[in-house]
Structure 1
Amino acid sequence: MSAHPALLQWPVRAADSLPLALWTSAAIAEATGGVPSAEFQCSGVEIDSRDVMEGDLFVALQGESTDGHRFIEKAFENGAAAALVDRPVDYPHVLVEDTFAALQALGAAARARANMVAIGVTGSVGKTGVKEALFAALDRSSRGRAHRSVKSYNNHVGVPLSLARTPARSRFAVYEMGMNHAGEIDALTRQVRPNVAVVTTVAPAHIENLGSMEAVADAKAEIFAGVEPGGTAIIPADNAHHAQLKAAAEKLGLKTVSFGTAADADARLLDAIPVGSGGSLVTAMLGATRVCYTVAEPGEHWIGNSLAVMAAVQAAGGDLGTAGLALAEMGGLKGRGARHRIKAPGGSALLIDESYNANPASMRATLAQLGNTPAHRRIAVLGQMGELGDFSAKFHAQLAEPIVEAKVDHAILVGEGMTALARELGKPNAATLAGGLTFTHCDTPEAAIAALEDHGLVGGDAVLVKGSNAVGLARLVDHFAAAED
């Protein structure tokens, strides 16, 4: 029986010759210069034996306090197909001199073999949400051929791991890059080699280590150093450091695309109307193209994030219509806006989980979001902000203003760093301006749980939980979300 003519004319693409397995033993050996003990194939890459899944390559990294080789047996019990090691083991493996250097080499090989558009995302606020929205948009339009770094894998280990996980057939990939010190993003962006680099915003995060806002902006601008020739920098038009970012990008010969409300922004907000679900209906100009789309995530900060997403999708050659659909369907991420309806007397209360991270800009944005949330009472559980150094007392005290503006009824302040804010809220004029605001200051998440239980929740309450991850307010979220309605 002869083949149907249409099948004979089926287009052949270069990508069709690429392997379906993420890695073979031969490819790993070629990338790392290692010696394989046997032939094998792997479907994933993992560095934590507890998270290993069937078919993964387990990379046995050596850290300051532990050695991944101690967990080889556990990794194979969980289904590892092979391991990347610096000493022979009694399992399928590739033997290398240095497993961290080998992970970096594996990431570089993955980046080199994929004929894709890579997008790098950094910024003081919003980078994980923007990364997830970009992935949702590009994965949808490419029918599943997009990749991204998961969770917040954005440091010197997370970035090469995310690169090493990139399928050879990817058309798009989105990588998040974070930093604590100058020079860190420079090293990461040279591994990612993005075609498009996004800076969501510049705000006083990590100012303890960098010393000034200008230095923070310079550190974020390091992402431009690795952008491929002819690439694009997406920068915030409304930020005080816009000119600094633009100059850094143009110095490297990059095209710049600004986003925001400024009259000269390339991706410019025309209008944003609240919708019943809590999100916004956005109208914007992307160059000469007028677009209208819905953003499911509540808060003005997500309107700005959406403009960055649309600008990056356009620069990457993605589909704007699909990007709009993705933004309309985005749900809140755990620790970054996830919403829970929890049982309470008289109905249910809304719990907003922003427990993963906090800095002055994100605190203001989420408090404003709380203020716009219809509620019987508004309660804010706020953990101290980290890495503010000598600026800590000042920035914590300045949170009194957005708390008052949000019409918060009761605040629970967690951590020693909140002392300055407690002092500010305790002033007689603050109590008058806040219209009866009460607050509690405690040291630990457990004490905050007890304080919120003592205060009591009733139907119609809205509770915002926000703080730096080190404070541990995720434990409070888990405790109350267990009573999800």
Structure 2
Amino acid sequence: MTLWTAAKAAEATGGHATTDWQVNGVSIDTRTLQPGDLFVALKAARDGHDFVAQALEKGAGAALVSHVPEDVAKDAPLLIVDDVQAGLEALGQAARARTNARVVGVTGSVGKTSTKEMLATILESQGKTHASVASYNNHWGVPLTLARMPQDTAFSVIEIGMNHPGEIGPLARQTCPDVALVTTVAAVHLEAFESVAGIALEKAAIIEGLKDGGTAIVNADIDHTEILNQCAKDRGVRIVDFGRKASDYTLTHVTQSPESVHANAMVNGKPITFDVQSAGTHFAMNALGAMAACVALGVGLDRAINGLRHWSPVKGRGVREKIALATGGQIELLDDSYNANPTSMAAALDVLAASQGARRIAFLGDMKELGAQEQAMHAAMADIEAMARVDQVHCIGPLMQALHTALPQEKRGLWFETSAEMATHLPELIRQDDTVLAKGSLSMALALIVDGLRKMGQGGALDG
């Protein structure tokens, strides 16, 4: 199916098409580009114009550029604009404007991607659904996701993130969601904000982008709920809350097993139960918010509950697997290696603490962007309730040295500055029947620990 013609793309961006081309996808990376894609020559770590010729050789249907690169023929299929980033944003906004899709925008300090995936899983059973890939939630990820949206999409799920003040508002206005969901507000990116209240104000900016008559889905359990509610009131949109303190979608009880959670809730006075196919009470909260968003989009609550059963965590975000050891027996791996902050770290440790392994072992890496209190926040992890049920903690990174020092001697494992150094010691640290958590900020490369644990296995992961 044709996604963009030269004429429509030129109209959307105000650019000049060199030939009469058409494309069926949009890409910013020649490594993943598919034949027929529009290659967008963004300037990031490197200038995308340096890769236009390669993209065309790989079968790109056209390229979005600000000038004709020296190694590209002047009659090549191009869309020439003044600024490529602005051109991509214009393309995304045109895609949003031409579709009748019901759109939900998702933001929050923790749980954005998992909640986005829950929403996509539920909505896919209700109609053609388009969602953000991976964590494409920044200044280029959001317009790219929008630009990729087919005109006949029924539902769209757009993840919106931030690192600094002033980022969410413009992305929310581009997205123009029918429903805006804020999963939570927590101490993340504090090096760029003076307080958690400042983070709440930034997250509330997603509500400013709502369509007239839209719905704001707000976590009632956070300290700064009123900031979100006030933004929704100022915007004149409907407010629906969720959480243990909520009046609309009230979580009343969660039963956690090693591989799932069973939850009870009250929805507008009606008792419901639902299951999430992953351990962790935080997933029950995310699921409740996702169901509230789906209902606001017009999906029946019963259908949302049924659709949720098909969701499972994505790689690096709470995936649980059993690995048969080459030396005999097996271990259970909790792969939560994609990112970390104090809230998500505590949630992951809670899952580990509830596991049934002979020993509960954690490999924890630095939590980044926490500002002036970063050392204290790392050390404070030693005092959280779940830590009492963890047998040994191995720490990775300069900041995690604070936790290593704060841990009682019997829990204190090894400390190394890098995951690569720690990975070489895995065989001496792991025994059969252990349950092992890997958690840290992405730059700490806890994926090396995950890969090292898998390499200790024979024949790959077991079902379970």
- TM class, shorter-length: over 0.9
Instruction: Please state whether the residue corresponding to 2:389 is helix, strand or coil.
Output: coil
Higher mean displacement: 382-391 or 74-83? 74-83
Work out whether residues 276 and 287 of structure 2, in 8 Å CA contact, stay in contact via their aligned partners in 1. yes
Selected match of 1:228 from 203, 211, 214: 211
Say if 1:77 and 1:325 are closer, same or farther in 2 by CA, change over 3 A.
Answer: farther
Q: Which residue of 1 aligns with 2:57?
A: 77
Counterpart pick for 1:454 among 423, 428, 446? 428
User: Secondary structure in 2 aligned to 1:476?
Assistant: helix
Q: Which residue of 1 aligns with 2:85?
A: 100
Q: Hey, what's the Cα distance between the residues in 1 that align with 2:310 and 2:155?
A: 20
Alignment partner, residue 8 of structure 1: none
Which string of whole-angstrom CA distances, capped at 9 and with x for unpartnered residues, describes residues 22-41 of structure 1?
11111111111122222222
- Is the contact between residue 340 and residue 481 of structure 1 (CA under 8 Å) also seen in structure 2? no
Match of 2:299 in 1: 318
1:321-361 Cα distance to aligned partner (Å, 9 max, x none)? 33223322222211111223222233211111111110000
Tell me the residue number matched to 1:200. Answer: 183
2:266 aligned with 1:293: no
Matches within 5 A, 1:149-164: 149-164=132-147
Q: Of 364, 369, 375, which aligns to 2:351?
A: 369
- Is 2:121 the partner of 1:136? yes
Mapped partners of 1:81, 1:30: distance in 2: 18
Question: What does the per-residue CA deviation read over 1:195-248, in whole Å, with 9 as the maximum and x for residues that have no partner?
Answer: 111110111001111011111111111111111111111111111111221112
Q: Which residue of 1 aligns with 2:412?
A: 438
Counterpart residue number, 1:273: 255
Matched, 1:386 2:368: yes
1-structure distance, mates of 2:253, 2:228: 26
Matched, 1:123 2:97: no
Q: TM-score, normalised by structure 1?
A: 0.90
> Residue deviations 1:175-197, cap 9 Å, x none?
11111111110111111111111
Compare the two structures and name the one with the higher helix fraction.
1
Distance 1:401 1:350, change over 3 A: same
Alignment of 1:304-315 (within 5 A): 304-315=285-296
Q: Is this contact kept in 2: 1:50–1:74, CA < 8 A? A: no
In 2, the alpha carbon distance for the partners of 1:280 and 1:355 equals: 21
Shift of 1:288: 4.2
> What SS does the aligned partner of 1:365 have?
helix
Letter in 2 for 1:448: M
Contact 2:353 2:386 in 1 (8 A): no
Comparing 399-408 and 292-301, the one that deviates more: 399-408
Counterpart of 1:3? none
Q: Hey, what does 1:178 align to over in structure 2? A: 161
* 2:7 paired residue number: 26
Q: 1:98 to 1:282 in 2, by over 3 A?
A: same
Query: Partner of 1:16 in structure 2?
Result: none
Whole-angstrom distance in 2 between the partners of 1:80 and 1:479: 37
Aligned to 1:473: 446
Q: In structure 2, how many angstroms separate the alpha carbons of the residues matched to 1:285 and 1:332? A: 25
* Pairs aligned (count): 452
Structure 2 matches for 1:29-40, cutoff 5 A? Answer: 29-40=10-21
User: How many angstroms does 1:290 deviate by?
Assistant: 3.6
**Native 8 Å contact 2:121 2:310 kept in 1:** no
Q: Return the offset for 1:291.
A: 2.8
Cα separation, partners in 2 of 1:222 and 1:393, compared to 1, 3 Å: same
Tell me how far apart the structure 2 counterparts of residues 251 and 165 of structure 1 sit (CA, whole Å): 32
Q: What is the alpha-carbon distance in structure 2 between the residues aligned to residue 139 and residue 273 of structure 1?
A: 27
Q: Secondary structure at the match of 1:283?
A: strand
C-alpha separation in 2, matches of 1:339 and 1:274: 14
Taking structure 2 as the reference length, the TM-score comes to 0.94
Residue 54 of structure 1 is matched in structure 2 by 35
C-alpha distance in 1 between matches for 2:398 and 2:417? 6
Q: Aligned partner of 2:431: which letter? A: V
Take 2:383 and 2:310, find their aligned partners in 1: how far apart are those partners? Answer: 33
Cα 1:421–1:274 shift into 2, 3 Å: closer
Name the residue aligned to 1:15.
none
